[in-house]
Amino acid sequence: MTRVARVSLKALAGVALLLPGHLWAAAMADDIRLARTIGWREVGEPRRLHLAAAPPIAKVEVRDRWASRYEERVTFVSGSYLVFESTRYAYSATVPLQHLFYQMFGLDEALTAQGLQPGIAQAAVRSFGGRATAYYVAQGKTKTCFSFASQFAAVSPGVRDRMLSGQDCRPNGTISAEELVRAWGALLDGIQIR
């Protein structure tokens, strides 16, 4: 056995000796947070999104401290939300919109809570405001939910580097799936991005 192999063995033996140390390792404060909560800050008005006909807005937040992206989230009074993302790096050119929708909403907590788990093929694709959009609308246990995702290029033709996504879940009986699609269609048609 070479000298280095012997050293490796000793190092590994040292690691093995650390096992008992596991028993005395004490707890320390845990300041790890979920990524989804990090970096958002509230601003007064939407900065990049121009909403021609929007329902009442509860709050607008932006996440602008990371060099790799800019995000803007508009939460409406109804609890529904709309997120715009502008990224420095392109989204995958090989992922079709329906697949993108699955990545974002296939295991969505709000949909799962309603007993809804959309597969890739279950998202419909349609153009809203000139942007190809994959969306899914379905009635769950207590709510009817509309979810969507759209990726497009800042400058056409170009790589996809902008994204709009969002979700609206309303109590069953207050709005039909068709009406929900129409309402969001009107909203998305009126969105302009600065």
List residues near another protein by CB under 8 A: 1-5, 8-9, 11-13, 15-16, 18-36, 38-39, 63, 65-69, 71, 85, 87-94, 99-100, 102-109, 119-120, 149, 161, 163, 165
Structure tokens at 170: 């309303």
- Spatial separation of the C-alpha atoms in residues 8 and 16, rounded to whole Å: 12
Nearest CA among 16, 73, 87, 7 for reference residue 40: 73
Q: Is 136 helix (H, G, I), strand (E, B) or coil?
A: strand
Closest distance between another protein and the C-beta of residue 118, in Å? 11
Q: Characterise 79 by phi-psi region: left (phi > 0), alpha (psi -120 to 50), beta (else).
A: left
- Spatial separation of the C-alpha atoms in residues 88 and 90, rounded to whole Å: 7
Tell me whether residue 21 or residue 178 sits nearer to another protein (CB atom).
Answer: 21
Tell me whether residue 23 or residue 178 sits nearer to another protein (CB atom).
Answer: 23
Tell me whether residue 18 or residue 53 sits nearer to another protein (CB atom).
Answer: 18
Tell me whether residue 60 or residue 186 sits nearer to another protein (CB atom).
Answer: 60
